[in-house]
Amino acid sequence: MTLMSMIDPFGRDISYLRVSVTDRCDFRCTYCMAEDMAFLPKKDLLSLEELERVCNVFISKGVRKLRLTGGEPLVRKNIMHLVRQLSQHLQSGQLEELTLTTNGSQLVRFADELAECGVRRINVSLDTLDPEKFRTVTRWGDLSRVIAGIDAAQAAGIHVKINAVALRNFNDAEIPSLMRWAHGRGMDMTVIETMPMGEIEADRTDQYLPLSLLRAQLERHFTLSDIPYKTGGPARYVHVAETNGRLGFITPMTHNFCESCNRVRLTCTGTLYMCLGQEDAADLRAPLRASESDELLSAAIDEAIGRKPKGHDFVIDRRSKRPALARHMSVTGG
């Protein structure tokens, strides 16, 4: 089988597609969404069949890793139909990995079926192990339900990685205990700098914690050694001697990872963002719906990849305190 590839203007092989299957979520995390979110009309969303068709074309053009995101992907009605259809590419060998990022709230319900479909690894977003703080940061979330979901995923044989957004004066002091807990359960953990996307009630200049500072704080108590481990995403990993676990740092603000970016993002409305931190985008819904053939869609993807930018323009603006981008992370996909 001849493998295709998509090469952008900077010589990067675009082999990773992140697909937001819904902008809806059963949480309202304070750094991600406004509490009173206005969600997209359902008529604007791609159907599951349309999402599958777009994914199929990307896979035929060289995508080897596919991640389903949201919002919360597991709240999309009949989402497991899409997962099952896409899993056929794992069986054929065209796709190396099918995975998802979730808040964990629906994993008790879906973990076994995800494992049956060949999902071997998932990311669970979890910023605190304090039930009251968890309720505060998610507004609607129930920590015990998420922990039960992680239990279910691990019991099903799925490797879980914990993603924690580092928030100054909220969970920064808790990161060491969260890391010990994750490593104690055999889970990797990644900490992420908050990103200036979308209007929210909170002030991101107060939330923002540079991970260079967090790493320096951790190194007072832990021995961190840089390692070449990669999962296909932007995290840079260290080995923690005291826990014998891996800790990743995703640093879009203090040290961007654009030079090695191999991914593009498809929204649930069929908009393709070639860069998370740029507004330039391509409409794939129109060519998708204009023809039953995939020729127009394929050409639109080629044109979009041909203008993938070198990097993003994220900045925490302490003067205006406005986000770098107006769209919420839940629209683009986590």
High-pLDDT (> 70) share of the chain, %: 85
Tell which wins on pLDDT, 60 or 260: 60
- My answer on whether omega of the bond before 71 falls inside 30° of 0, hence cis, is yes
* Burial track 45-71 (b if 16+ CB lie within 10 A, e otherwise): bbebeebbbbbbbbbebbbbbbbbbbb
Residue 278 tokens, joined: 């740029």
Asked if pLDDT for residue 325 goes beyond 80, the answer is no
Residues 6+ apart with CB under 8 A from 72: 22, 24, 25, 26, 27, 102, 103, 105, 106
pLDDT at 278: 77
Tens of pLDDT, residues 78-97 = 999 999 999 999 999 999 99
- Give the mean model confidence (pLDDT) for residues 184-202: 76
pLDDT at 200: 43
Angle formed at CA 151 by CA 29 and CA 99, multiple of 5 degrees: 65
Residue ranges of the annotated binding site for S-adenosyl-L-methionine are 31, 71, 125, 195
Residue 175 tokens, joined: 């990161």
Taking phi first (over 0 means left), then psi (-120 to 50 degrees means alpha), and beta for anything else, what does residue 296 get?
alpha
Positive/negative CA dihedral, 307, 308, 310, 311: positive
Tens of pLDDT, residues 232-251 = 778 999 999 999 999 999 98
Tell which wins on pLDDT, 122 or 194: 122
Residue indicated by tokens 């998802």: 100
Query: What span, in angstroms and rounded, lies between the C-alpha atoms of 112 and 324?
Result: 39
Contact 323, 197 (CB under 8 A): yes
Residue ranges of the annotated binding site are 18, 25, 29, 31-32, 67, 71, 101, 125, 161, 195, 258, 261, 263-265, 275
Residue 299 tokens, joined: 């050409």
Contact 238, 226 (CB under 8 A): yes
Ordered by where they begin, the domains of the chain are: 16-332 (3.20.20.70)
pLDDT at 318: 45
Query: What span, in angstroms and rounded, lies between the C-alpha atoms of 334 and 332?
Result: 7
Tell which wins on pLDDT, 267 or 234: 267
Query: What span, in angstroms and rounded, lies between the C-alpha atoms of 110 and 82?
Result: 13
Which of the four pLDDT bands, split at 50, 70 and 90, describes residue 292?
very high
Which of the four pLDDT bands, split at 50, 70 and 90, describes residue 205?
low
- Give the mean model confidence (pLDDT) for residues 149-172: 95
pTM of this structure: 0.87
pLDDT at 106: 97
Residue ranges of the annotated binding site for GTP are 18, 67, 101, 161, 263-265
Tens of pLDDT, residues 30-71 = 777 676 677 788 888 999 999 999 999 999 999 999 999 999
Residue ranges of the annotated binding site for [4Fe-4S] cluster are 25, 29, 32, 258, 261, 275
* Amino acid at the residue 141: G
- Share the mean pLDDT of the chain: 88
